[in-house]
Amino acid sequence: SSFRSGTKLVAPLGCLVSRQKHTLPDLPYDYAALEPHINAEIMQLHHSKHHATYVNNLNVVEEKYKEALAKGDVTTQVSLQPALKFNGGGHINHTIFWTNLSPNGGGEPKGELMEAIKRDFGSFANFKEKLTAVSVGVQGSGWGWLGYNKEQGRLQIAACANQDPLQGTTGLIPLLGIDVWEHAYYLQYKNVRPDYLKAIWNVINWENVSSRYATCKK
């Protein structure tokens, strides 16, 4: 039996060695599709430059991490953690963000998600106000999130600094993320973050958020 348990380790380690590199996901809509709420220039730069940089850097960091792991070099592994968190978080967060937006978005969610929002925040208007306030209040760069607390079985609002990923840093499952880095809005809204946050509700893809909620509740 000890031999058998030993062979089980081969598969995951093998996967690690031949792992696929992370790639930039395609947007499910054109760069100009979210206008006038988010303009094409922002979307193009945000996706093809900013997100692409996180992906490239993540692949580089993982390669170095893999080498350090093979050598048993714990010092290097530890020193790579911040870059792993930043670029890995940037990739995770943006991959969710693009699907949270849609040219056919806006309005209000339906069904189970709406019921949960009313249960946990009193009303949709109250939820919207709270998430907007938390997002406006992020100091410097970061994200506002609607997450699901699996242990407590309830929705929760949280803010994360920089590219800290919600689940990896708070344990909450990400449902809806709002990017409040300046690169997400500055070209169009200058330094007036509240105007950007007001506009983004017109393109929120509630179908996507609802299906995320349904999946994480299982």
d(CA 200, CA 128): 11
Q: What distance in Å separates the CA atoms of residue 183 and residue 185, rounded to the nearest whole number?
A: 6
Asked if residue 152 belongs to a domain, the reply is: yes
Distance between alpha carbon 160 and the CA centroid of its chain, in Å?
Answer: 10
Task: Using alpha carbons, select from 133, 128, 167, 132 the residue that is nearest to residue 150.
Answer: 167
Which tokens in the block code for residue 214?
A: 């349904």
pLDDT at residue 3, rounded to an integer? 42
Burial class (CB in 10 A: 0-12, 13-18, 19+), 177: buried
Query: What is the distance between the alpha carbons of residues 94 and 38, in angstroms, rounded to a whole number?
Result: 15
Q: 72: Cβ–Cβ under 8 A, 6 or more apart, which residues? A: none
pLDDT at site 35 = 98
* pTM score, whole prediction: 0.89
Q: How many domains does the chain have?
A: 1
Residue 4 lies in a domain: no
Residue 89 lies in a domain: yes
Residue 94: inside a domain, yes or no? yes
Range of the domain at 79: 37-217
Q: Is residue 15 part of a domain?
A: no
Angle at 94 between CA 12 and CA 29, to 5 degrees: 115
CATH number for the domain spanning 198: value is: 3.55.40.20
Binding positions: 46, 94, 179, 183
Q: Is residue 21 part of a domain?
A: no
Res 20: pLDDT: 80
Q: Which residues of the chain have pLDDT under 50?
A: 1-17
Q: What SS3 state is found at 179?
A: strand
- Within a domain: 32: no
The confidence score (pLDDT) of residue 218 equals: 78
- Extract the tokens encoding 143: 């994200």
Confidence at residue 105, expressed as pLDDT on a 0 to 100 scale: 96
Judge contact between 143 and 169, C-beta under 8 A: no
List residues forming the annotated binding site for Mn(2+): 46, 94, 179, 183
